[in-house]
Chains A and B, each alone.
Chain A
């Protein structure tokens, strides 16, 4: 009776842990969608995959947009798909952690050698008892590990999205630059053409003609270079979107968008990064996990192996015996002190890593924002001042040409300088959007244009995580009085990885 109860409880404890295929990915998808507004999918050879393929084809048939290219990559990037498999591994570990160790069945039978007497047998069923006490904590540790993995995978997805956005901007810019190079070539060819006509009329030297022709050939080679650069940029984007075959025939007609009206404030960006960066969250969870592991070790400190079980014994001629067994490890020599010290060190290490990551993140956000502002200034200066001036130079050159004060060569060179200014502008706008993609990656989500408080809700993937996860005090020798992770005990100021919960 007691045996059946015990076995039943053990089966119950282990039974809830079964593998759910979509489990981790659903959380990743939710995290990514919350931050990018785009769905992601883990292809597992299910019938829905065909639907995804159709969706991909539909996306690729139209002119590609930046958002669509991110969507394609999230659905189709093979490296990302490989990363999703990590979730399977992690989930398996989590399920494993929820399983009780198997009971041990011992049996022995003895036969009389002398020919006298009867055979004797003994049967015992033993279950490690400590498992039952530590199981919840172990499960929690494993779950946290799984969550940390989930966050890491989602972080990868965001990183891929940022790469896609940058590659997309590059393709856009190169398409536009190529148009400009074509214009530059056209201008150079016109100048060479005029030179040939002047030479035919006997008005210029062979030297002047050859110089103009050489310049035209230079422009032709520059165009060829930019054509190659465009092919390479397209292939980069193809790799990121995981495309091959006919799917690489996508088109992109959208021009680089103009700059947003205003930038998000620095203070907001930093707190946004700390709040929604998934790798920071993962590091936070990692630290918490180490703390829980440490707790586990501490709570089991004076437990050795405890095995309980039942055994049945029958002698040849004796009575049949049945009763419980208890086997107890005596923690006399090994009280887990080494293990605990190691876990304490690892936990502190985790805390330091979190600190490092937070400080670096803040710094990177500041640097990226400074870069964004500088590029905005450059692009803005081009748009508001340089381009109108270049426009005016061409316009005035044409008037001077009409007044026969300057010739076509000077007029075309004014046009070429205008084209070069446009190139500079397009490059600045492209760099701006790439820097913005970097910044978005650094703050862990999209920046809403000009808005000061656009926040995906904080990055907790599940409700299990308390807002202020317990951590050890500065001195690990004082367990039981955990302070918040965020509290810098010595200074009382906010820690770099702390963020206001608004």
Chain B
């Protein structure tokens, strides 16, 4: 039973699949269907998912449960569901053609098996994977241990990583893309669409990460804390094999679980460290404009194209702030306004919010930095005191004694 046998997981921006018990069997119903999904404010697309969601709702159960999962196909194509990482009879493994007959449009299939291991798992279509995963047919499958293992956690987050190709101005992900993914998501949301992970100071936090991106591994970096990788696909990592990390690489088709104690309050970034994965809808045909001096070019081009402005000479940072008209259904490559300034991040980026006091786990807003704990512009008094001449040549010492 939830809250008695296990602490239920939290799925930021996500949902969980409801169930009922029939004759000691937990019965679920998944419906594969087309879904209009919002990736971030200003960007919607027609995806394929389950039960009106992208990604599908998280299935949560307990080691030893007998589960019966009905899968109804309301898609225009056949489909199957593969229970990724689960130990089960071959005929329930959901590989179309190999394990079973594919579920034709309009049909409902029944999967039934006993959950034999406690671990973090996933599910996804295993029929025409390129198309169906590329369009979003994935979800998480959490199996809690029957008996608690390790220290009890207070907050147990589930995040599924994914990547998409949605051209600016289009309304459907292109599943044919191989390399140029331009929308990178956590639970199918790109920053600034991602919900923060809210934690009370001192709580023990577990973050379960799954990666069903078509192509890319994601090194997820958490600011402010060191964590241990406590679980991989196979389950719990023995304590002796755990080591402290700041970044966890989540390979394609894998899950990783990290745990730490959130003992320092603040707003802490958690993101994929591949810099392009922190961008939204990057345009790869935009020339490299860094260092270009437009001079009189703008005025000349404006006689042909009113409203033209040369962009990108110092990078992409101002892009979201310029407010220039862009195609409908597109989001800035970078960011959103933060407390102190514009946050120049997008894509696989979210914020871990640790607070000393919390009314609820709803978004508590921006962190108020106690005096003396915020980087600010140096005063000239400080510079003089410390002998810093901002106009002098920057100094270095030789790398080795002379």
Q: Determine if B304 and A415 form an interchain contact, defined as CB atoms under 8 angstroms apart.
A: yes
Stretch at the interface among A81-89, A361-369, A396-404: A396-404
| CB-contact partner of B292 in A186, A198, A402, under 8 A | A198
Contacting residues, chain A, for B310 (C-beta < 8 A): 408
A187 to B290, CA, bound (A): 22
Q: Out of B283, B304, B332, name the residue touching A412 (CB < 8 Å).
A: B304
On whether A405 and B285 interact (CB within 8 A), knowing A396-B169, A399-B169, the answer reads: yes
Is A411's beta carbon under 8 Å from chain B? yes
Q: Mark A378-412, 1 if CB is under 8 A from B, else 0.
A: 00000000000000001010111111111111111
Specify which of A201, A396, A408, A410 is in contact with B301 (CB 8 Å cutoff): A408
Interface string of B318-334 (1 = CB under 8 A from A): 01001011110010110
The CA of A401 and the CA of B306, in the complex, are separated in Å by 13
Which residues from chain B contact A203 at a C-beta distance below 8 Å? 287-292
Contact with B along A402-437 (1 / 0, CB 8 A): 111111111110010000000000000000000000
A407/B285 in contact, CB under 8 A: yes
Once the chains bind, are A197 and B294 in contact (CB under 8 Å)?
yes
B287 touches A407 (CB 8 A): yes
Residue interface bits B77-91, CB-to-A below 8 A is 1, else 0: 000000000000000
The residue on A at minimum CB distance from B303 is A186
Give the contacting residue for B326; candidates A202, A399, A412; CB below 8 A.
A399
- Binary contact track B292-327/A, C-beta < 8 Å → 1, others 0: 111101001101110110111000100100101111
The complex places the Cα of A203 from the Cα of B304 at a distance, in Å, of 25
One of B285, B300, B304, B332 near A406 (C-beta < 8 A):
B285
**Known contacts A406-B285, A409-B287: does B297 contact A197 (CB below 8 Å)?**
yes
Shortest beta-carbon distance, A269 to chain B, in Å?
43
Which of A203, A402, A406, A410 has the most CB atoms of chain B within a 10 A radius of its CB? A402
State whether A410 and B305 are in contact (beta carbons under 8 Å apart), knowing that A402-B325, A404-B312, A404-B316 are contacts in the complex.
Answer: no
Cβ contacts under 8 Å, A406 to chain B: 283, 285-286
Q: Contact flags (1/0) for A106-134 with B, using CB distance below 8 Å?
A: 00000000000000000000000000000
Q: Nearest-CB distance from B349 to chain A (Å)?
A: 19
Separation of A183 and B304 alpha carbons in the complex (Å): 7
Binary per-residue interface labels of chain A (181-225) against chain B in the complex, 1 for a CB within 8 Å, 0 otherwise: 001001101100110011011111000000000000000000000
B69 CB within 8 Å of chain A:
no
Closest beta carbon of chain A to B149's beta carbon, Å? 48
Inter-chain contacts of B290 with A (CB < 8 A) = 201, 203
Residue picked from B308, B310, B330, B332, most chain A C-beta under 10 Å: B308
Inside 8 A of B289's CB, which chain A residues have their CB? 198, 201, 203, 407
A404 and B286 form a contact (CB under 8 A): yes
Q: Does B187 contact A (CB under 8 A)?
A: no
Contact for B293 among A189, A197, A399, CB less than 8 A: A197
- CB neighbours (8 Å) of B301 from chain A are 190, 408, 412
Of all A-B residue pairs in the complex, the 10 with the closest CB atoms, nearest first, are: A405-B283, A201-B291, A402-B324, A403-B326, A407-B287, A203-B288, A399-B327, A201-B292, A197-B292, A404-B286
Residues of A within 8 A of B (CB): 183, 186-187, 189-190, 193-194, 197-198, 200-204, 394, 396, 398-412, 415
Show 28 residue pairs from A and B whose CB-CB distance is below 8 angstroms, ordered by the A residue: A183-B304, A190-B300, A197-B297, A198-B287, A200-B292, A201-B290, A201-B291, A203-B290, A203-B291, A396-B169, A396-B327, A398-B307, A399-B169, A399-B326, A400-B283, A402-B322, A402-B324, A403-B326, A404-B311, A405-B168, A405-B283, A406-B285, A407-B286, A407-B287, A408-B301, A408-B310, A410-B285, A411-B308
Given contacts A403-B327, A404-B283, A404-B316, 19 further A-B contacts (CB under 8 A): A190-B297, A197-B295, A201-B290, A203-B287, A203-B288, A204-B288, A398-B305, A399-B327, A400-B283, A401-B308, A402-B311, A402-B322, A403-B333, A404-B312, A405-B168, A405-B283, A408-B308, A408-B310, A409-B287
